[in-house]
């Protein structure tokens, strides 16, 4: 995104050096309160971090000096890395607007319950205002004056609470006109006083109904502030607000504000594959091949991390990293292993393997988890005091944006990310530094990420500027006090006045010539004959399992700084145990097939470049009818025997791969499906 504030940077710097001319008297006094007495260009210690201060001042400058006619007609966007303290920045803006502008009402919108609960814990009882000392003694308000109402979960709502509260915190869906409570909440806001709107995790805002809700609120919105760590969405859209400040992962690494990510991958020599009959379970053959030849077999990427043997090996690598993190913690806190799976079945398998094979206390969080498990996930970092802390948590993208547990020290990826947004959000869960008693603020901290080369995540590590160093002993363990190089230098814009913004349209431009532009289109041409294509797919009733992987070494790469890598010995795995097989009833197996089929529909749509929410029903229905015709003799899942259901379950990976291999098939279902 283009930083809309860039043309104003030079004038802004002059404005702050001259003592903030042109602002309200109360604003000037509040800025003085937040300023370091020894350095008029820096924030007071304990109030705001330097980058929060920079963002805060730009909001003040835009609102009181430039005005909406110059910038921020739809809103102001702040892009701040995970762990960068967006909540404290939000609180400082609230305090300033209350003190200097007399604003009494603030609405904070968020995308999900996890973000909502995290914000509630910060704002309830004025906690964040007290913790950061954001309210001066001379102000006509105090922290407890900011009365909070949290919508949903039996926590409040209704016109009375919305009228009487100063801060209204809610999920964006609680203001949608598609439901009765949303209509009531929206009506209450529109019939009350004007307010300031905070759109947290703003990368979600281009979603049609989300955007429509923001537009409905616009007439009562005095100022809209969007906050996000990942402004780009999976669908390629961005918020409609004007970006005025960026604080990236590179900036945070340079400032030592976040942990340093270190990626570990196995270096594999040979692989053993076992072929079995998907209908009878009879073993057909065993094949051992070199690593360089595995691509010819067409194995799915996730098999390398979800089949029994490779999953155990990846977990052994992750648990080795967890042991190292526990030694660094030295009893001051309990480091957490965060495991990210692609579907509920893989998540259950991962949790069972950790709990029963490795004997590691593990919490499983899926869409079916109750409020108690969600609460446990939020409080993992506090569990050490209970005496029996969880050491691992497994999730199916449930714990993403808003889930902030600084104790996450290891991330194990059991899925492939095709979305830049989701990939960055997951890695962001491990970037927040541990700040607890006995931990020096300058103490080096790392987040170990266990990846697999077949997941092809190089694009993700490029975002973090992955580098390597050669010739490190095979038995050397990572030592953050010796191996971490100096942080990368921050990149700054030396001459912002020379930046030229390209206009959307060139005035008086006439094209008198012709030229050809080659455009790479992500989506293949939709096929009208998609039904015939689907019917023509043939399947081999063979299930291929990776039953042994010989690892030569484990390679670690530090991200975002000087090039180096460490090479460590492969993990030792105790004697082979029985693989985990879900003990499902017939009905549970039917539900598992439906759940996985819906996930496959979503994955195929995302890869093909189509909106998931609008089209997953069509693709799911088409795939379900396809399964009935190919594997169930036309019967429904409800009428099929156990043996046939197990056959379908084993064939799901092959179904996904063969459907995705036909260009335009998914597009055909979307465009021409019933």
Q: Which pLDDT score is estimated for 255? A: 84
Rounded to an integer, what distance in angstroms lies between the CA atom of residue 144 and that of residue 456? 50
Q: Which pLDDT score is estimated for 384? A: 61
Q: What is the mean pLDDT of residues 243-267?
A: 86
Q: Which pLDDT score is estimated for 573? A: 63
Rounded to an integer, what distance in angstroms lies between the CA atom of residue 598 and that of residue 671? 19
Alpha-carbon Rg for the chain, nearest whole angstrom, is 27
Quick check: 221 pLDDT over 50? Answer: yes
Which fold would CATH assign to domain 6-247? Rossmann fold (3.40.50)
Q: Which pLDDT score is estimated for 162? A: 80
Nearest to 85 by CA among 118, 125, 110, 38: 118
Quick check: 354 pLDDT over 90? Answer: yes
Tracing tokens 């998914």 back to the chain, one arrives at 666
Residue of 42 and 505 predicted with greater confidence: 42
**How many Cα neighbours within 13 Å face the side chain of 122?**
23
Rounded to an integer, what distance in angstroms lies between the CA atom of residue 69 and that of residue 595? 49
Measure Cα distances from 638 to 589, 594, 596, 601, 641 in Å.
Answer: 10, 11, 16, 20, 9
Q: What residues form DSSP beta bridges with 195?
A: 221
Q: pLDDT tens across 336-350, in order?
A: 999 998 888 888 899
Quick check: 605 pLDDT over 70? Answer: yes
Highest-pLDDT range among 302-311, 352-361, 418-427, 603-612: 352-361
Q: Which pLDDT score is estimated for 118? A: 80
Start-to-end C-alpha separation, the chain: 38
H-helix or E-strand containing 268?
strand 260-277
Measure Cα distances from 596 to 271, 447, 612 in Å.
Answer: 27, 31, 15
Q: Which pLDDT score is estimated for 559? A: 65
Q: pLDDT tens across 440-483, in order?
A: 988 888 899 999 988 888 877 877 654 433 333 334 445 544 44
**Spatial contact of 245 and 58, defined as CB atoms under 8 Å apart:** yes
Rounded to an integer, what distance in angstroms lies between the CA atom of residue 313 and that of residue 569? 12
Here the tokens at position 131 are 């913790």
**DSSP assignment, residue 343?**
S
State phi, psi for 76 to the nearest 5 degrees: -110, 135
DSSP string, 182-200: HHHHHHHHHTS--EEEEEE
Q: What is the mean pLDDT of residues 146-165?
A: 75
Collapsed DSSP state (helix, strand, coil) of residue 124: helix
Tracing tokens 């103490």 back to the chain, one arrives at 443
Q: By CB neighbour count within 10 A (0-12 exposed, 13-18 middle, 19+ buried), where does 591 fall?
A: middle
Q: Which pLDDT score is estimated for 327? A: 92
* Residues in the chain, total: 674
The secondary structure of the chain in percent helix, strand, coil, rounded to multiples of 5, reads 45, 20, 40
Residue spans of the domains in the chain: they are: 6-247, 260-489+542-568, 583-672
CATH architecture of the domain 260-489+542-568 equals 3-Layer(aba) Sandwich (3.40)
H-helix or E-strand containing 287?
strand 283-290
Cα 479 to its chain centre, rounded Å, is: 28
Predicted confidence band at 493 (pLDDT cuts at 50, 70, 90)?
Answer: low
E strand residue ranges, 444-589: 446-450, 542-558, 565-568
Quick check: 244 pLDDT over 90? Answer: yes
Measure Cα distances from 551 to 265, 309, 473 in Å.
Answer: 10, 12, 17
Residue of 608 and 629 predicted with greater confidence: 629
Q: Which residues contact 292 (CB under 8 A, 6 or more apart)?
A: none
Rounded to an integer, what distance in angstroms lies between the CA atom of residue 261 and that of residue 480? 11
Alpha carbon dihedral 320, 321, 322, 324, in 10-degree steps, equals 90
Quick check: 579 pLDDT over 60? Answer: no
**Spatial contact of 481 and 444, defined as CB atoms under 8 Å apart:** yes
Beta strands 392-395 and 408-414 are unpaired
Mean of the per-residue pLDDT values of the chain: 82
Nearest to 305 by CA among 343, 262, 360: 343
Highest-pLDDT range among 227-241, 269-283, 354-368: 354-368
Q: pLDDT tens across 55-79, in order?
A: 999 999 999 999 999 999 999 999 9
Q: Which pLDDT score is estimated for 251? A: 85
3-state secondary structure 452-467: CHHHCCHHHHHHCCEC
Cα 34 to its chain centre, rounded Å, is: 32
Q: For the whole model, what pTM was predicted?
A: 0.73
Q: Which residues contact 214 (CB under 8 A, 6 or more apart)?
A: 197, 199, 205, 224
Predicted confidence band at 523 (pLDDT cuts at 50, 70, 90)?
Answer: low
54-85 burial code (b ≥16 CB/10 A, e <16): bbbbbbbbbbbbbeeeebbebbbbbbbbbbbb
Rounded to an integer, what distance in angstroms lies between the CA atom of residue 340 and that of residue 427? 10
Quick check: 565 pLDDT over 60? Answer: no
Q: pLDDT tens across 634-659, in order?
A: 999 999 999 999 899 889 988 998 99
Rounded to an integer, what distance in angstroms lies between the CA atom of residue 227 and that of residue 149? 21
Measure Cα distances from 583 to 355, 482, 580, 591, 646 in Å.
Answer: 16, 48, 9, 13, 12
Q: What is the mean pLDDT of residues 308-316?
A: 91
Rounded to an integer, what distance in angstroms lies between the CA atom of residue 376 and that of residue 261? 25
DSSP string, 405-463: -TTEEEEEEES----HHHHHHHHHTTTBPP--TT--TTS--EEEEE--GGG--HHHHHH
Here the tokens at position 53 are 């201060």
Q: By CB neighbour count within 10 A (0-12 exposed, 13-18 middle, 19+ buried), where does 640 fall?
A: buried
Q: Which pLDDT score is estimated for 296? A: 67
6-247 matches 260-489+542-568 in fold: yes
Quick check: 283 pLDDT over 90? Answer: no
Predicted confidence band at 232 (pLDDT cuts at 50, 70, 90)?
Answer: low
């Amino acid at each position: 995104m283009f930083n809309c504030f860039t043309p104003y940077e030079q004038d802004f710097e002059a404005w702050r050096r001259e003592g903030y001319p042109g602002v309200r008297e109360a604003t000037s006094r509040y800025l003085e309160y937040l300023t370091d007495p020894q350095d008029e260009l820096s924030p007071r210690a304990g109030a705001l971090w330097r980058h929060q201060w920079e963002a805060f001042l730009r909001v003040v400058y835009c609102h009181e000096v430039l005005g909406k006619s110059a910038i921020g007609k739809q809103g102001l966007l702040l892009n701040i890395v995970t762990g960068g303290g967006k909540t404290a920045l939000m609180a400082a803006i609230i305090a300033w607007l209350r003190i200097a502008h007399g604003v009494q009402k603030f609405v904070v919108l968020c995308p999900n319950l996890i973000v909502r609960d995290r914000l509630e814990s910060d704002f309830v009882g004025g906690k964040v205002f007290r913790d950061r000392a954001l309210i001066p003694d001379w102000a006509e308000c105090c922290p407890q004056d900011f009365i909070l109402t949290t919508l949903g979960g039996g926590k409040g709502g209704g016109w009375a609470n919305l009228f009487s509260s100063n801060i209204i915190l809610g999920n964006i869906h609680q203001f949608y006109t598609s439901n009765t409570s949303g209509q009531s909440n929206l009506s209450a806001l529109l019939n009350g006083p004007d307010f300031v709107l905070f759109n947290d995790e703003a990368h979600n805002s281009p979603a049609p109904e989300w955007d429509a809700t923001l537009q409905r609120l616009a007439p009562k919105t005095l100022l809209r502030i969007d906050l996000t760590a990942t402004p780009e969405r999976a669908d390629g859209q961005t918020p409609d607000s004007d970006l005025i400040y960026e604080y990236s992962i590179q900036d945070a690494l340079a400032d030592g504000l976040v942990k340093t990510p270190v990626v570990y991958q196995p270096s594999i020599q040979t692989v053993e594959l076992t072929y079995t009959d998907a209908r009878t379970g009879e073993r057909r053959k065993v094949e051992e091949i070199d690593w360089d030849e595995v691509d010819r077999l067409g194995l799915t990427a996730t098999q390398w991390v979800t089949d029994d043997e490779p999953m155990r090996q990846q977990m052994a690598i992750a648990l080795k990293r967890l042991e190292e993190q526990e030694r660094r913690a030295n009893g001051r806190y309990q480091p957490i292993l965060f495991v990210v799976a692609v579907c509920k079945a893989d998540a259950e398998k991962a949790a069972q393997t950790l709990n029963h094979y490795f004997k590691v206390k593990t919490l499983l969080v899926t869409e079916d988890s109750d409020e108690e498990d969600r609460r446990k996930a939020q409080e993992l970092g506090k569990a050490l005091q209970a005496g029996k802390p969880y050491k691992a948590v497994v999730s199916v993208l449930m714990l993403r944006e808003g889930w902030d547990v600084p104790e996450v020290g290891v991330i194990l990826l059991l899925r492939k990310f095709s979305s830049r947004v989701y990939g960055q959000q997951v890695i962001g869960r491990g970037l927040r530094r541990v700040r607890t008693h006995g931990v020096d603020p300058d103490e080096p901290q790392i987040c170990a990420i266990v990846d697999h080369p077949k997941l092809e995540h190089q694009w993700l590590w490029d975002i973090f500027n992955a580098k390597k160093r050669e010739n490190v002993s095979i038995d050397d363990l990572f030592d953050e006090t010796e191996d971490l190089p100096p942080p990368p230098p921050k990149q700054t814009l030396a001459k912002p006045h020379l930046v030229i913004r390209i206009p959307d349209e060139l005035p008086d431009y006439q094209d008198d010539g012709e030229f050809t532009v080659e455009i790479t289109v992500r989506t293949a041409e939709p096929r009208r004959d998609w039904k015939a294509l689907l019917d023509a797919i043939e399947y081999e009733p063979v299930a291929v399992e990776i039953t042994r992987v010989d690892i030569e070494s484990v390679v670690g790469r530090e991200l975002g700084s000087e090039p180096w890598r460490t090479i460590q010995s492969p993990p030792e795995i105790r004697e082979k145990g029985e693989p985990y097989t879900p003990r499902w009833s017939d009905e549970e197996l039917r539900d598992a097939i439906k759940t996985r089929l819906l996930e496959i529909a979503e994955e195929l749509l995302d890869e093909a470049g189509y909106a998931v929410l609008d089209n997953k029903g069509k693709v799911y229905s088409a795939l379900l009818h396809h399964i009935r015709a190919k594997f169930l003799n036309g019967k429904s899942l409800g009428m099929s025997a156990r043996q046939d259901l197990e056959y379908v379950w084993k064939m799901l990976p092959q179904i996904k791969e063969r459907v995705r291999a036909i260009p335009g098939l998914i597009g055909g279902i979307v465009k021409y499906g019933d």
